[in-house]
Amino acid sequence: MVSRALSIQTGRAAIARHLEILAPLNESEREALTSLKELVDFAAGQEITKPGAPLDDPMFVLAGWICRCSTLSDGRRQILDFYLPGDLVGDGSRTGKRAHAFCVALTPATCVRAGELIALTRSQPDRFPGLANVWGAFESEIEKRLIDQIVRNGRMLAHERLAHLIKDLYERHRRVGVLVSEPFVMPLTQEMFGDALGLSTVHVNRVLQQLRREQIVRTSLGRVEMLNAQLLEAAVQATR
């Protein structure tokens, strides 16, 4: 079990790394990041924002998994996107800045408020040239992930969808340095995978068994471990 302090420390490193990937930061900007202090904890299943809510409380994810989702009147849910340590939740540059979907913690999650930092850097682009530009880059990343999600669910078969999503989640964790140990563990239930991929739980179960036979994943109730990045990559390439 990873301690909370270590999770938060890893999460802070993930934020810094993610920002540095999106834009080079100067010393003032790295110093400004240390001003991120106000932590917010969410329980698994807790709603963070809902449709129509103003997007006026942006936060970085330090630990845990958060999703953006829409629900139908009969309770069916579509997960649109996952937010992982190092990601920015609840920001938007468009006029009015209101949420179009729910934001929900899938696991216990810890975030750190970033509203003041974002406002400060946007108002002083000369002093914070990297950070002033980085917020738009986050929006661009989100748009890219939404495009991937549409293509995955609109054009791929179940096995392709699952392999593609697992690869994406793995790459995102690796990129910001939060893969502290192998294998890569996804704390996602079959239902959550189904909600993300537009598949029924039993169908997800079938596909996970296939990926397990291919020695790509190991599964247990409520979690999936990715065992072999090369085999996963081969499975994704086979779909192209």
Residues that bind another protein (CB under 8 A): 157-158, 190-191, 199-203, 205-206, 208-209, 219-221
Q: Closest distance between another protein and the C-beta of residue 206, in Å?
A: 6
Q: Closest distance between another protein and the C-beta of residue 239, in Å?
A: 13
State the amino acid at position 80 in one-letter form. L
Q: Closest distance between another protein and the C-beta of residue 48, in Å?
A: 25
Q: Which is nearer to another protein, 1 or 221 (CB)?
A: 221
Q: Which is nearer to another protein, 1 or 202 (CB)?
A: 202
Q: Which is nearer to another protein, 1 or 157 (CB)?
A: 157
Structure tokens that stand for 203 in this block: 């169908």
Cα 15–Cα 128–Cα 121 angle in degrees, nearest 5: 75
Q: Which is nearer to another protein, 107 or 124 (CB)?
A: 107
Q: Which is nearer to another protein, 86 or 194 (CB)?
A: 194
Give DSSP secondary structure letters for 32-70: HHTT---EEEE-TT-EEE-TT-B----EEEEES-EEEEE
Q: Closest distance between another protein and the C-beta of residue 75, in Å?
A: 13
User: Which of helix, strand or coil describes residue 202?
Assistant: helix
User: Which of helix, strand or coil describes residue 223?
Assistant: strand
Q: Closest distance between another protein and the C-beta of residue 7, in Å?
A: 27
Closest CA to 15 of 78, 84, 70: 84
Region for residue 113 given its phi and psi (left: phi exceeds 0; alpha: psi -120 to 50; beta: otherwise)? beta
Edge-first strand listing for the sheet containing 223-226: 184-186, 223-226, 217-220
Other C-beta atoms closer than 10 Å to the C-beta of 154 total 9
Q: Which is nearer to another protein, 113 or 206 (CB)?
A: 206
Q: Closest distance between another protein and the C-beta of residue 97, in Å?
A: 37
